[in-house]
Amino acid sequence: MERDPQVPATGPNPRWPQLAPGIICMVMVANLQYGWALFVNPIDAKMQWGRAEIQIAFTIFIVASTWLMPVAGYLADRLGARPVAMAGGLLVGISWCVNAYAQSLATLYVSAAIGGVGACAVFGACIGHALKCFPAQRGLAVGLTAAGFGTVSAATVLPIHSVIQTFGYENAFLYFGLGQGAIVFVAAAFLASPTTPDVRADPIDPLNTPRNYGPLEILRTPVFWVMYLMFVLVAVAGLMAIGQLAAIAKEYKVANVPVSLLALTLPALIFALAIDRVFSGLARPFFGWVSDRLGRETTLGIAFSIEAAAIVALARFGHEPVWFVVLTGLIFFAWGEIYSLFPATSADSFGEKQAATHAGLLYTAKGAGAFIVMSFSTVLLPSTGWHNAFYCAAGMNAVAAVLALLVLKPLRARQAALDRINAALVLVNDHRAR
């Protein structure tokens, strides 16, 4: 199969150890999102604030960590990944330490905002770092970094739960906050600039290197908005499908049926939810690696088609407990790649100089998708049921797959051709000026 000309040729990269600090940082901030559910009931049991009021803190965290991503990316592009990620580590540690002593909802909300900013800074800096340092294996590098935010962090769930049960949620917040913040701060200190000769040894060909667009420039390109639309569609589809798992499990009467897979036996619904982080995390480096070889749009089309088919299959065959778990895992697996392929495609299309800013702008599509899902959940789904939600989600993925192959691919090819022509004209003019 012919390789995508906008994807750099792959080859061995001796700088893979430079990816490790970013992955460590991502693992350490993931608990702010994935570990939050462990604290809600203990906080409510002691403070009697109400679960709904406590969960507002989580909403504040998500809003801050999503919509401020362009700012984090901009700072990482201007100052470098190291100081931005180190500052994020400090904010992450402060957030959980404040949670340990919070005596009011207002304090909890302020702490959530601080944590959201910190997580945003770490995420934006580390993703930008991977985009810039590994141009020849950009999909795999970003996928491995993004996987740290999901798969690896699953190992910390049991320790946090154990500390909460044994010493109380306050000590869990305090000790894990101090530990995670310190580890992020130290690991971030090892993030080297991609302009350092021993980090960036790849030759640069001006005629085959994407032009470095500015943030305002990319907002005027069709390529960006097609990618943004695809990101929103797939984010909404995945969140809608995941959000209706309990409903389909209840209707099919499989929620509490034991399922034995991979040497584990769990109730079907619990099993399906438990594999969320693992499968979506594994998808990020896998599809990133595939995209480095087959091209971004082809891989996007494959992943979205798999997810659409898996959603339809789950709606039809989910009454079988084993198929319920297997197909749920396939949905999570096909959905997780959006966090590696979209940033990589953005950097391929718009250059790496401000890649973190561009990835941050694109990442706001996740926030837009979350707002759309909230509207569906409160207005449409109560009256239409999970069936329409599932088939709507499958349709969104199918539309995104078509957009990737039939719209985004020719648009990127046309933009790349124009960029090469302009680069050649610049070289000719420079030669004549000499």
pLDDT reading at 98 higher than 70: yes
Mean per-residue pLDDT over the chain, rounded = 86
CA of 66: how far to CAs of 70, 105, 170, 178, 359, in Å? 9, 22, 26, 23, 11
Return the minimum-mean-pLDDT range out of 343-352, 365-374, 375-384: 375-384
Its sign, for the CA torsion 386, 391, 392, 398, is positive
pLDDT reading at 416 higher than 50: yes
CA distance 39 to 56: 13
For residue 265, the surrounding DSSP H or E stretch is strand 264-267
Instruction: Report which residue type is found at 249.
Output: A
CA of 79: how far to CAs of 27, 132, 353, in Å? 23, 14, 12
| Tokens read off for 160 | 């946090």
Give the Cα-Cα-Cα angle 111, 117, 119 (nearest 5 degrees). 100
pLDDT reading at 10 higher than 50: no
| pLDDT range class, residue 430, cuts 50, 70, 90 | low
Comparison of pLDDT for 129 and 372, the residue scoring more: 129
Q: What's residue 204's pLDDT?
A: 52
Average pLDDT over residues 250-262: 87
pLDDT reading at 201 higher than 70: no
Q: What's residue 378's pLDDT?
A: 60
Comparison of pLDDT for 17 and 225, the residue scoring more: 225
Q: Which of 114, 142, 342 is nearest to 228 (CA)?
A: 342
**Where do the structural domains in the chain lie, given as residue ranges?**
15-200, 207-434
For the segment 103-151, what is each residue's pLDDT rounded down to a tens digit? 999 999 999 999 999 999 999 999 999 998 888 889 999 999 998 887 7
For the segment 164-181, what is each residue's pLDDT rounded down to a tens digit? 999 999 999 999 999 999
Return the number of other C-beta atoms located less than 10 Å from residue 217's C-beta. 14
| Tokens read off for 58 | 């989580």
Residue listed under structure tokens 């790849």: 202
Rounded to 10 deg, the angle between the 69-79 and 81-101 helix axes is 140
Name residue 266's beta-bridge partners: 259
Phi then psi dihedrals of residue 365, to 5 deg: -60, -30
CA distance 148 to 30: 8
Identify whether the C-beta of residue 133 lies closer than 8 Å to the C-beta of residue 197. Answer: no
Return the minimum-mean-pLDDT range out of 323-337, 360-374, 391-405: 360-374
Q: What's residue 209's pLDDT?
A: 64
| pLDDT range class, residue 208, cuts 50, 70, 90 | low
- Say if domain 207-434 classifies as CATH 1.20.140.10: no
Q: Which CATH architecture has domain 15-200?
A: Up-down Bundle (1.20)
Identify whether the C-beta of residue 208 lies closer than 8 Å to the C-beta of residue 291. Answer: no
pLDDT reading at 273 higher than 60: yes
Average pLDDT over residues 88-98: 96
For the segment 40-58, what is each residue's pLDDT rounded down to a tens digit? 989 999 999 998 899 899 8
Q: What's residue 383's pLDDT?
A: 57
Q: Which of 289, 416, 411 is nearest to 348 (CA)?
A: 416
CA 120 from centre of chain: 11
Name residue 264's beta-bridge partners: 261
Name residue 261's beta-bridge partners: 264
15-200 matches 207-434 in fold:
yes
